[in-house]
Amino acid sequence: VNVKQVHRTGFHFQPKKHWINGSFFQISISLRLLLLPFYNAHVYSFYIFDLAILLNLSPHFMLTGPMYFKGVYHLFYQYNPKGAVWGNIVWAHSVSTDLINWIPLEPAIYPSKPFDQYGCWSGSATILPGNKPIILYTGIVDPKPAQTQVQNYAVPANYSDPYLREWIKPDNNPLVAANNGENSTAFRDPTTAWWVNGHWRILVGSRRKNRGMAYLYRSRDFMKWTKAKHPLHSSAKTGMWECPDFFPVSKQGATGLDTSVVGENVKHVLKVSLDVTRFEYYTLGTYFPKIDRYVPDNTSVDGWAGLRYDYGNFYASKTFFDAGKNRRILWGWANESDTPDEDVQKGWAGIQLIPRSLWLDSSGKQLLQWPIEELETLRGEKVQMNNVKLNKGDYTEVKGIPAAQTDVEVTFSFPSLDKAEPFDPSWETIDAQKLCSLKGSTVQGGVGPFGLLTLASEKLEEYTPVFFRIFKAQDKHRVLMCSDATTSSLKDGLYKPSYAGYVDVDLANKKLSLRSLIDHSVVESFGAGGKTVISSRVYPTLAVFDDAHLYAFNNGTETVTVETLDAWSMKKPLMN
């Protein structure tokens, strides 16, 4: 782990070593009364805290003054303390005041009781009245192959410790076990609870044969839980629903809402992670609290063709309501797409993608996402490009920033859509990813392909293109966005998918924007202001450190203009 590692990320969340996986949850404890305008003092205290940990002093002592609090974010994540492969799962714990700089603490929850001795799997936190966090998590009570699952709770040993380092798992656990009706070996990942009409409610992910299920449980006191007669929702042929997430979004504006908000002014989102294909989808719909039913909108389908937060490597995500900044934040995990042997060699596997704000698009038909604003504090030198015309086959280098660790925002424009390629009706039956694999960045088009060549070697032996391609369908245009790993590395044995999704965007102003967060082995791209997001993991051999380049390109017959392009070098945050 000491060797200079070419694929370790510079500004994404990673522990020092070993395996991390999805099913994280985050809580933000906002001590509103203690809001502090002096951000620098705050950060300063944070470093003292770090030092205190190093010196094994009591950080509590260092930070008893309320001056230093604005809010503390906690990340608990699935972690193998013994190696770079999945196993021995505990809840590792890191804290932050900005979701960008992280300090590691001791694991919060680890196997130690009969109700969790074979693993502490995913779950969620809820803040109970009086600002009291409580964790619900899945305990594994017997070894493989059964791995019977129950739902447990844990509470802080000391509520006045702002870092909540120690958690107690009381003896009245488990709170919820499977009945005869449920599949006890596919019964996990309790959600954040919401409170409505005098009861708390949670979901537990499961399957009945091949039908994905979100079982609903109710409780008055958080201790005695009763299963509702009907699941909140279920869907045939989707398999096990891992890490369900259920929350309201405002019908108007980007302001986030507490998980318990219901009523006329909100829509609800139900997200599930599909075990079989390892991707997630969500639906938007209406929640009827009186009958405890959730009905997806007819524009929002369940299953393989459903809407996705991210059309790339993104799994086991969770959202949480950040009461400090009144926003809902989405956070997902990306696994490696090299081999397990390589992970053992690297000594680590898995990263967290950059946290994203998430809200309802004005169409009401999809969500929008954008990297949290705090990420911008890492921006260093900036380079710009304006009004650069790209004819068919042109590519132009973005010079002057280290292209392996960059945040880049670009707006492309095109004079007309007349040259858009016709959309072949037979493509309706294949998914976007398949179409991207047929129509890669080197396949000449009409309007597009145009976009960025990220993590590119000088002579383009390696590059990960992120691009748009516009088609003319029956009565509208269709925009395909791709993040294609096929050419990302000269190395064999890697998983190099042509990730892609459609972008439901109005092209009236003849512009398309793209933002990519490039970080050594990850490229996270936000199309059209966060309408479509795609994350790829890639492992270049030549395009590393200072030998990585960034280009804008066009390979369509219509000339495209880089109207504006801003790229920043990205500093390294404090990372565990």
Give the residues lining the site for ligand DQQ (CB under 6 A).
21-23, 78, 89, 121-122, 138, 188-189, 242-243, 316
Query: Token pair for residue 155?
Result: 């509470």
- The structure tokens 């946290």 sit at 355
Decide if 227 contacts 217 (C-beta within 8 A).
yes
Of the two residues 257 and 316, which places its CB atom closer to ligand DQQ in the complex?
316
CB 137 to ligand DQQ: min, Å = 8
Of the two residues 246 and 414, which places its CB atom closer to ligand DQQ in the complex?
246
Of the two residues 189 and 310, which places its CB atom closer to ligand DQQ in the complex?
189
CB 335 to ligand DQQ: min, Å = 9
Query: Measured in whole angstroms, how far is the alpha carbon of residue 185 from the centre of its chain?
Result: 26
Of the two residues 87 and 263, which places its CB atom closer to ligand DQQ in the complex?
87
Decide if 3 contacts 512 (C-beta within 8 A).
no
Decide if 349 contacts 365 (C-beta within 8 A).
no
Could you tell me the CA-to-CA distances from 515 to 375, 508, 512 in Å, in that order?
Answer: 13, 20, 10
Of the two residues 78 and 173, which places its CB atom closer to ligand DQQ in the complex?
78
> From CA 535, how far away is CA 552, in angstroms rounded?
18
CB 333 to ligand DQQ: min, Å = 8
Of the two residues 68 and 110, which places its CB atom closer to ligand DQQ in the complex?
110
**Contacts of 99 by beta carbon, 8 Å cutoff, 6+ apart:** 73, 329, 355, 372, 374
Query: Token pair for residue 173?
Result: 């656990």
Q: The sheet that has 522-527: what strands, in order across it?
A: 379-390, 560-570, 405-413, 511-519, 522-527, 532-537
Question: Closest by alpha carbon to 168, among 180, 182, 152, 156?
Answer: 156
Q: Which amino acid, residue 416?
A: S
Of the two residues 241 and 568, which places its CB atom closer to ligand DQQ in the complex?
241
Question: Closest by alpha carbon to 560, among 392, 445, 414?
Answer: 414
CB 111 to ligand DQQ: min, Å = 12
Strands 90-96 and 72-80, by their bridges, are antiparallel
263: left (phi > 0), else alpha (psi -120 to 50), else beta? left
Of the two residues 14 and 78, which places its CB atom closer to ligand DQQ in the complex?
78
Rg (CA), the chain: 24
Which helix (H) or strand (E) segment holds residue 343: the answer is helix 340-346
CB 473 to ligand DQQ: min, Å = 36
CB 506 to ligand DQQ: min, Å = 36
Of the two residues 23 and 28, which places its CB atom closer to ligand DQQ in the complex?
23
Question: Closest by alpha carbon to 353, among 135, 87, 191, 534?
Answer: 534
CB 3 to ligand DQQ: min, Å = 28
- The structure tokens 């390294």 sit at 572
CB 314 to ligand DQQ: min, Å = 12
Of the two residues 21 and 483, which places its CB atom closer to ligand DQQ in the complex?
21
CB 232 to ligand DQQ: min, Å = 17
Question: Closest by alpha carbon to 141, among 205, 82, 83, 188?
Answer: 188
> From CA 332, how far away is CA 275, in angstroms rounded?
15
Q: Which amino acid, residue 321?
A: F
> From CA 80, how far away is CA 534, in angstroms rounded?
27
Query: Token pair for residue 305?
Result: 């063709």
CB 239 to ligand DQQ: min, Å = 12
CB 78 to ligand DQQ: min, Å = 4
Of the two residues 184 and 487, which places its CB atom closer to ligand DQQ in the complex?
184
C-alpha dihedral over 503, 99, 74, 281, to 10 degrees? 10
Q: Give buried/exposed letters for 320-359 (b at 16+ CB in 10 A, else e).
A: bbbbbbebbbbbbbbbbbbeeebbeebbbbbbbbbbbbbb
Of the two residues 312 and 449, which places its CB atom closer to ligand DQQ in the complex?
312
Of the two residues 121 and 539, which places its CB atom closer to ligand DQQ in the complex?
121
493: left (phi > 0), else alpha (psi -120 to 50), else beta? left
CB 125 to ligand DQQ: min, Å = 15
CB 140 to ligand DQQ: min, Å = 9
